[in-house]
């Protein structure tokens, strides 16, 4: 299954190779051109019979990860997080480290040795380490290097009747949607762009926006759903199972209100549930693409995911199907009308 393969692949910011190879093999038969730019963005083009409008779909390939910054004398590894990870979700998780995918666990001082005051405080990154089972620095150095990434090892699976669980739904779910959307044909040039380094400041998107130079861009994402016990409804941001979400504002962009309205209207027309993301924090590639050259009309369509940026997230199958229907409906309308 495509989403399973995408989420179980590993790709921290700047090291998206495994994910890129997987996507390239998925799309090579359904697009006319494929290239990888200097940063590692995978830019694909389906030509279409007409010259315009030039449409861009974008999803980022990278995921949040841990980077090894020190190999200790006793063979334990110190690390930093790359992208926003809450240190409280890390302890006692399994990881794989580096290109050899060396298995390891995230360790900390055992509860027996913690002072009463320490037990009440969440562990900080400095109190955690990765244990790959080596006893000495040299032994660890033969298996991992400074700068290597450590990734969570979560296996993708179905949960209940309508849910998937897995790692890196942000943004492999966007990559899966983009690949599925490319399977249809369109009359205009459609660029499917898989970006790099989103989690460290939307870096890939800033050059991809410039080089593609689209008339309109739709960014496909996995976004926060905080629809859980103890959080009041107005703070839910998005709700799992109630359809894909549209962003009216985040920390990087105010998407084109006309485009957002159009997507809402399409949802009504085709009976596709759509929700507005009720939060203005967080940013996506839309911010950089919107601000490239003389400006681009952008919108962000995201699948609600619980427990995002952690070792395991949860999303709805129905939301995926509805998001794909809305993306395709949107792409089809661009064949008839002006942007």
Catalytic residues: 198
CB 43 within 8 A of CB 34: yes
Beta carbon of residue 187, minimum distance to Co ion (angstroms, whole number): 30
> Token pair of 64, please?
């949040």
Beta carbon of residue 92, minimum distance to Co ion (angstroms, whole number): 26
Instruction: Pick the closer one to Co ion by CB: 165 or 172.
Output: 172
CA distance 11 to 306: 21
CB 104 within 8 A of CB 94: yes
In this chain, which stretch among 28-36, 40-48, 163-171, 299-307 interacts with Co ion, using CB under 5 A?
Answer: 163-171
Instruction: Pick the closer one to Co ion by CB: 68 or 198.
Output: 198
> Token pair of 281, please?
């924090």
Beta carbon of residue 64, minimum distance to Co ion (angstroms, whole number): 9
250 binds Co ion (CB under 5 A): no
Residue with the two structure tokens 């949607």? 177
Instruction: Pick the closer one to Co ion by CB: 22 or 61.
Output: 61
CA distance 153 to 101: 10
Instruction: Pick the closer one to Co ion by CB: 130 or 315.
Output: 315
Alpha carbon of residue 194 to chain centroid: 10
In this chain, which stretch among 74-82, 167-175, 228-236, 329-337 interacts with Co ion, using CB under 5 A?
Answer: 167-175
Beta carbon of residue 86, minimum distance to Co ion (angstroms, whole number): 16
Q: How many residues bind Co ion (CB under 5 A)?
A: 2
In this chain, which stretch among 168-176, 187-195, 207-215, 300-308 interacts with Co ion, using CB under 5 A?
Answer: 168-176
CB 103 within 8 A of CB 10: no
- Three-point CA angle 195, 332, 297, nearest 5°: 50
> Token pair of 202, please?
């939307």
| Candidate residues 63, 170, 180, 250; the one interacting with Co ion per rule CB under 5 A | 170
Give how far Cα 140 sits from Cα of 75, 129, 144, 152, Å. 5, 13, 6, 19
Beta carbon of residue 73, minimum distance to Co ion (angstroms, whole number): 37
Radius of gyration for the alpha carbons in the chain, expressed in angstroms and rounded: 21
Beta carbon of residue 173, minimum distance to Co ion (angstroms, whole number): 9
Instruction: Pick the closer one to Co ion by CB: 64 or 130.
Output: 64
CA distance 312 to 269: 35
Site string for Co ion, 115-154 (x = CB under 5 A): ----------------------------------------
In this chain, which stretch among 5-13, 84-92, 165-173, 233-241 interacts with Co ion, using CB under 5 A?
Answer: 165-173
Instruction: Write phi, then psi, for 271 (nearest 5 degrees).
Output: 60, 45
| Candidate residues 62, 63, 171, 250; the one interacting with Co ion per rule CB under 5 A | 171
User: Other CB atoms closer than 10 Å to residue 70's CB: what's the count?
Assistant: 12
Residues forming contacts to Co ion in the complex (CB under 5 A) are: 170-171
């Amino acid at each position: 299954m495509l989403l399973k393969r995408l989420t179980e692949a590993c790709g921290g910011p700047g090291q998206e190779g495994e994910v890129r190879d997987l996507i390239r093999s998925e799309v090579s038969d359904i697009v006319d051109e494929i290239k990888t730019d200097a940063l590692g963005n995978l830019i694909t083009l389906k030509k279409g019979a007409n010259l315009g409008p030039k449409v861009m779909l974008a999803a980022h390939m990278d995921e949040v990860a841990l980077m090894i910054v020190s190999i200790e004398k006793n063979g334990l590894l110190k690390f930093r997080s790359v992208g926003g990870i809450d240190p409280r979700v890390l302890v006692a998780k399994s990881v794989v480290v580096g290109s050899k995918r060396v298995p390891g666990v995230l360790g900390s001082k055992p509860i027996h040795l913690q002072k009463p005051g320490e037990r009440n405080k969440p562990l900080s990154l400095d109190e955690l380490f990765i244990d790959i089972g080596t006893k000495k620095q040299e032994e660890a150095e033969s298996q991992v290097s400074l700068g290597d990434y450590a990734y969570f090892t979560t296996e993708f699976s179905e949960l209940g009747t309508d849910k998937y669980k897995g790692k890196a739904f942000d943004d492999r779910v966007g990559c899966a949607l983009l690949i599925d959307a490319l399977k249809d044909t369109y009359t205009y040039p459609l660029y499917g762009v898989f970006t790099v380094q989103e989690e460290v400041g939307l870096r890939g998107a800033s050059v991809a926006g410039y080089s593609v130079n689209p008339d309109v861009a739709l960014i496909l994402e996995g976004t926060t759903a905080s629809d859980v016990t103890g959080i009041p409804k107005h703070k839910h941001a998005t709700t799992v199972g109630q359809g894909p979400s549209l962003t009216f504002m985040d920390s990087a962009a105010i998407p084109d209100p006309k485009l957002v309205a159009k997507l809402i209207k399409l949802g009504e027309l085709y009976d596709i549930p759509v929700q507005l993301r009720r939060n203005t924090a967080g940013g996506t590639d839309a911010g950089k693409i919107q601000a490239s050259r003389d400006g681009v009309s952008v919108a962000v369509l995201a699948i609600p995911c619980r427990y995002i940026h952690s070792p395991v997230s949860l999303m709805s199958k129905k939301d995926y199907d509805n998001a794909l229907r809305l993306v395709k409906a949107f792409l089809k309308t661009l064949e008839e009308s002006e942007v």
